[in-house]
Structure 1
């Protein structure tokens, strides 16, 4: 393993699946169009340094969901497709820690630093990050390697993907994680 400024950091790629290409299905607009590209750049660094990688795959229990295992939308996007031997964590709720062995794998590898990327900022990224912080891990959420979609408010008002993204990141920052850019992480890994 290569030397890094972070001790044994794990990269957790959350739900970077083909179903998220269907923007209309998720809300009609999306921010951070290059989030997958930034995630892929970090993945290549992790691979080159032989650092721990966890690919999280949302496997919806709803048979009509675009992310159900029977649908092609469940597949990982090609840009971050796991290589043979890389760990895949399958989940069916928002947190990658619930109903999976992720915590056990992280703890058994003595990992304390988690770098989190993926989709969507306000759902699975946020929920996983909150649990990571509560478990005592040092978490880094990568602002330009995460993204989300437009949302409707309780009274039907429209909230932009960028507003939802920024609000979710603000809620996580310095409480559950440090929100940083991919360039920042590249400097310390």
Structure 2
């Protein structure tokens, strides 16, 4: 039995070109996530897909029942893989994620998905606080341009800032090739 789970966070259609909340390099991140997913399936790691819905008809993206809220086909779940619905950035908050992982004896988490500055950050920090050993595969995650105090921040800088904040304290942050070599 494995003690590792791959957590695919919010790899949903609205984040891709043509979606309601497009992220920079989402296709490349999803391709790397798909590679890691394929490897996890072959090695028998537990797989959990997190799907975010914002329960409001006025939501800018991930509206309940919308095509944009669907998991992208690149990483579509197959029979036997958990799919957990969430309504907040932290994948553990008011969901069954922690109980599901605990019931399977999971102690190590590998996180991929989106957005780096929101749901990946919130989920990684919560996981570490709950005692999980966390790995974030940074090139299987994507970010969006941001703005603060009239300063425009490109997605690449947003992504780097959040990965650097997670690295060491909350998670081991690695790239796809290095993660697969270490497995």
Q: TM-score, normalised by structure 1?
A: 0.90
Q: Which contiguous aligned blocks of 4+ residues in structure 1 show a shift greater than 4 angstroms?
A: 22-25
1:153 aligns with 2:148: yes
| SS class of match (1:26) | coil
Q: Which residue of 1 aligns with 2:31?
A: 37
| SS class of match (1:34) | helix
Q: Which residue of 2 aligns with 1:62?
A: 56
Question: C-alpha displacement at 1:31, in angstroms?
Answer: 3.8
Match 2:114 to one of 97, 111, 119: 119
8 Å Cα contact 1:23-1:30 kept in structure 2? no
8 Å Cα contact 1:31-1:162 kept in structure 2? no
Q: Which residue of 2 aligns with 1:169?
A: 163
| SS class of match (1:130) | helix
123-132 or 66-75, which deviates more:
66-75
| SS class of match (1:30) | coil
1: distance between equivalents of 2:39 and 2:127? 22
Q: Which residue of 1 aligns with 2:12?
A: 17
| SS class of match (1:82) | coil
2: distance between equivalents of 1:85 and 1:32? 26
Question: C-alpha displacement at 1:33, in angstroms?
Answer: 4.2
Question: C-alpha displacement at 1:70, in angstroms?
Answer: 2.1
2: distance between equivalents of 1:17 and 1:31? 14
CA displacement, residues 107-162 of structure 1 (integer Å, 9 cap, x when unaligned)? 1111111000000001000000000111111000001100111011122x211000
Aligned pair count reads: 182
Which runs of 5 or more residues in structure 1 are unaligned?
A: 2-6
Match 2:172 to one of 161, 167, 178: 178
The CA RMSD over aligned residues, in Å, is: 1.7
Match 1:92 to one of 73, 87, 91: 87
Question: C-alpha displacement at 1:184, in angstroms?
Answer: 1.6
1: distance between equivalents of 2:55 and 2:64? 8
1: distance between equivalents of 2:135 and 2:115? 15
1: distance between equivalents of 2:20 and 2:146? 12
8 Å Cα contact 2:144-2:154 kept in structure 1? yes
